[in-house]
Amino acid sequence: MSTATENTSTEGATVEGSFTPKTLFKYNGHDMQEIYIAVKGVVYDVSAGRSFYGPSGPYANFAGHDASRGLALNSFDAECIRDFDQPIDDLKDLTPEDIDSLDGWEEHFQKKYPVVGTLVEN
């Protein structure tokens, strides 16, 4: 798993440290200009992809959340996103195919967006 200090693929990354689901939530493109998404415990600044992750974008429901389950299942359903007052999804029930899908998304985020921190429990 990547850590917040390992980002080398994108210039201008700001390492913020740890985010809880509650503190991550405000980075949803509404409450804050920045848009952050967590994938497998790593928080990425996806603000550059505002047309995808920002308000009215096709992935907007992932903004300010742990998007791991939704990405693994290739689903935008609200049920794939936990509320910020719930524990972080352990993803233990994912199939090997789901995990492969999530790994592909993780690689995409690692190559495209700066890491700003890690996701930790509230």
For 4-31, write each residue's pLDDT tens digit: 333 333 444 455 699 999 999 999 999 8
- Residue 32 — very low, low, confident or very high, per pLDDT cuts 50/70/90? confident
Instruction: For 65-108, write each residue's pLDDT tens digit.
Output: 999 999 999 998 888 999 999 999 999 999 999 999 999 999 99
Rounded Cα distance, 122 and 119, in Å: 9
For the domain spanning 12-115, the CATH number is 3.10.120.10
Better pLDDT: 109 or 15: 109
Q: How far is CA 120 from CA 3, 54, 59, 89, 106, in A?
A: 12, 23, 22, 11, 18
How confident is the model at residue 31, as a pLDDT? 85
Could you identify the residue written with the tokens 């999804």?
Answer: 89
How confident is the model at residue 50, as a pLDDT? 95
